[in-house]
């Protein structure tokens, strides 16, 4: 079960790895909530708890899906504090007032101060990373999963027998679109979702340039796709929101506020360089509460800029861009003038 952990939690790139490339570890807990008879983790109202960070794009996927599927009364959640230090994520203290709902101490373990204690209570020998999202079973006191791509898929269908319409029939991974979604997941994960981290955590010029140029050629490809797709719907594929929207949104909404400057993803930004992506982003953010209401820019901006001391020694958070996200009917001046 254990994977090897680096000596320091902040050693995003193994100092012994001369390539300077960020290599993300595999998630360790890979169980599934399932409505199959006899399943170890059956769908039950109130049984599961999600530990997330509002800052984290992977955890953000699970918050969006939970809300889209109407699972708010079924799955409770807590967001950790945005600061990640030497001991990893910590819970807010009772006197800290942070934006966003459920930014509280751990409601399930009053003596726990850090997320890592959930991992150790589950497996005292755990040697992997202490990541969010973490899906926890209150009944057996076990971690079900710490892999966001699998947690969201459990949420798509496994609670459907307990859900009213229209949530029950909302299909976020429709059979007809699966080949397209799977194909795009592959390169968008490698080049974009994880690509921003590969760019920002690189410790050699070569590793950085390789990641950032790959990232931007994939953004160019997405831009072309979304410009054509705009004739059909505001969504990435087909005429309804799907997994493709959820997985791309959490990276793109962080792009201008954080990744452009903090992760040096600055060949272009979204608001002035990618009109179709910008339109798609704002339609999701402003028109669908599951996207807008789960986005907490203060957590997002503070987390990256004040936790990654190897990138930003004095932990100063840049003020801009202002605003974090533009209204749908407003553009940056350069775009308005060009029109
Ligand atoms: N594969 C995981 C990745 C999750 C992940 O890396 N989360 C980050 C926050 S954005 C984390 O908790 N990192 C803590 C660490 O690596 O120590 C998933 O998609 O669920």
User: What's the rounded Cα separation, in Å, for the pair 23 and 281?
Assistant: 28
CA of 131 to the centre of ligand 1 (A): 4
User: Could you tell which of 131, 147, 251 is best to mutate to test the pocket of ligand 1, judged by most ligand atoms within 8 Å of the CB?
Assistant: 131
**Atom 11 of ligand 1, residue of closest alpha carbon:** 131
User: Quick one: what percent of the chain has pLDDT higher than 90?
Assistant: 90
Domains of the chain with bracketed CATH: 1-170 (3.40.30.10), 175-338 (1.20.1050.10)
157 is catalytic: no
By the 8 A CB rule, do 303 and 82 touch?
yes
Does residue 31 register a pLDDT over 80? yes
204: pLDDT confidence band, cut at 50, 70 and 90? very high
pLDDT digits (tens, 9 = 90+) for 243-254: 999 999 999 999
Predicted confidence at residue 124, as pLDDT, reads 94
Predicted confidence at residue 339, as pLDDT, reads 80
Q: Is 286 annotated as a binding residue?
A: no
User: Could you tell which of 14, 24, 56 is best to mutate to test the pocket of ligand 1, judged by most ligand atoms within 8 Å of the CB?
Assistant: 56
Q: Is residue 129 within 6 Å of ligand 1 at its C-beta?
A: yes
Does residue 185 register a pLDDT over 80? yes
Which residue is catalytic, options 48, 54, 56, 119?
56
User: What's the rounded Cα separation, in Å, for the pair 205 and 209?
Assistant: 6
Query: In the chain, at which residue ranges do the beta strands (DSSP E only) sit?
Result: 48-52, 75-79, 84-85, 88-89, 134-137, 142-145
């Amino acid at each position: 079960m254990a994977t090897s952990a680096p000596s320091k939690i902040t050693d995003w790139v193994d100092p012994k790895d001369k390539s300077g490339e960020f290599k993300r570890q595999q998630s360790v807990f890979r169980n599934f909530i399932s409505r199959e008879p006899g399943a170890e983790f059956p769908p039950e109202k109130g049984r599961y708890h999600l530990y997330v960070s509002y800052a984290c794009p992977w955890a953000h996927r699970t918050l969006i899906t939970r809300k889209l599927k109407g699972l708010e009364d079924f799955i409770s959640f807590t967001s950790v504090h945005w600061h990640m230090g030497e001991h990893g994520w910590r819970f807010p203290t009772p006197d800290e007032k942070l934006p966003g709902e459920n930014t509280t101490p751990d409601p399930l373990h009053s003596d726990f101060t850090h997320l890592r204690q959930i991992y150790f209570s589950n497996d005292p020998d755990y040697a992997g990373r202490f990541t969010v999202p973490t899906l926890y079973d209150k009944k057996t006191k076990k971690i079900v999963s710490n892999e966001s791509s699998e947690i969201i898929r459990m949420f798509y269908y496994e609670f459907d027998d307990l859900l009213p319409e229209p949530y029950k029939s909302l299909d976020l991974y429709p059979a007809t679109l699966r080949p397209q979604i799977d194909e795009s997941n592959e390169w968008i994960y490698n080049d974009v979702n994880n690509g921003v981290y590969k760019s920002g955590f690189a410790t050699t010029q070569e590793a950085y340039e390789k990641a950032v140029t790959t990232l931007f050629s994939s953004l160019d490809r997405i831009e072309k796709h979304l410009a054509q797709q705009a004739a059909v719907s505001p969504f990435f594929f087909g005429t309804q929101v799907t997994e493709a929207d959820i997985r791309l949104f959490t990276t793109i909404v962080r792009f201008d506020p954080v990744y452009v400057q903090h992760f040096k993803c600055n060949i272009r930004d979204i608001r002035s360089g990618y009109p179709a992506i910008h339109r798609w982003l704002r339609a999701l953010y402003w028109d669908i509460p599951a996207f807008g209401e789960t986005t907490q820019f203060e957590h997002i901006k503070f987390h990256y800029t004040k936790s990654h001391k190897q990138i930003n020694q004095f932990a100063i958070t840049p003020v801009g861009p202002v605003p974090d996200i533009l209204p749908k009917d407003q553009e940056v001046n350069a775009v308005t003038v060009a029109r």
